[in-house]
Amino acid sequence: MLDGEQQPLKGTGTGEAAGSLQWLERHRLSIVLLLVVLAAIALGLYALQLRNAAPISITPVQTELRDIKVYITGAVAQPGVYAATSGERVGDVVARAGGLTAEADPVAINLARRTRDEMHIHVPAKGESAQAITSSTAPSPLRPINLNTATQKELEALPGIGEVTARRILASREADGPFANVDDLRRAGVRESVIEQIRSLVVAE
């Protein structure tokens, strides 16, 4: 062996490994605590992101509703034309007409059926042949309301005719005599648009 050559130190690798194990053993608790702290920080940041995230808004699907007119006849307290909402139950509209009378046959009519515009709802009396509900295409067997004999309630049942207008019509009929025709309602202060709305529902006889 030449002078000056250095021999490798025996056991150096083993000593370093043993030293590392000893260091890990001494600092094991600190390392575990550090990992726990880092995990807690990560969870906190994730929760903060979720909290600041924009909420997802769900827009409910709305069913289109519209105002309609329904004609109620038969064994109800106040027959006439009533405003309703498309799809409303027949029973709700019948209740608006004062409900069924004692003579009504509730089994002969489907009160759970939904309404539609220009629907004719006929409530049969007991013993009457069930006519029930007819559509707007079926002819109505009843006569229109006579302006010269109609009562306050019958006039109020017409679309566009409220309590005040009905009183004006009755007052005009009493003061100025019978109405010659439907257009004669102008003398009672009835608007042109209302006259056109009820033209097919009334007569002057």
Using alpha carbons, select from 99, 104, 94 the residue that is nearest to residue 126: 104
Higher pLDDT among residues 127 and 106, named by residue: 106
In contact, 82 and 97? CB cutoff 8 Å: yes
The tens digit of pLDDT for each residue in 124-183 reads 888 764 444 444 433 344 468 899 999 998 898 888 888 888 999 999 999 999 999 999
Maximum C-alpha span of the chain:
148
Looking at mean pLDDT, say which of 2-11, 31-40, 48-57, 174-183 comes out highest. Answer: 174-183
Higher pLDDT among residues 44 and 185, named by residue: 185
Distance CA(82)–CA(72), nearest Å, equals 7
At 176 the pLDDT is 92
Any idea which residue has 């013993």 for tokens? 127
pTM over 0.75: no
pLDDT exceeds cutoff 80 at 8:
no
The tens digit of pLDDT for each residue in 14-32 reads 556 666 677 767 777 777 7
Any idea which residue has 């608007």 for tokens? 191
Lowest mean pLDDT among 48-52, 86-90, 162-166, 180-184: 48-52
> Per residue, what are the HEC states of 27-94?
CHHHHHHHHHHHHHHHHHHHHHHHHHCCCCCCCCCCCCCCEEEEEEEECECCCEEEEEECCCEHHHHH
Residue 59 pLDDT grade (very low, low, confident, very high; cuts 50, 70, 90): low
Domains located in the chain, CATH noted: 65-141 (3.10.20), 143-205 (1.10.150.320)
At 132 the pLDDT is 42
What size, in residues, is the chain? 205
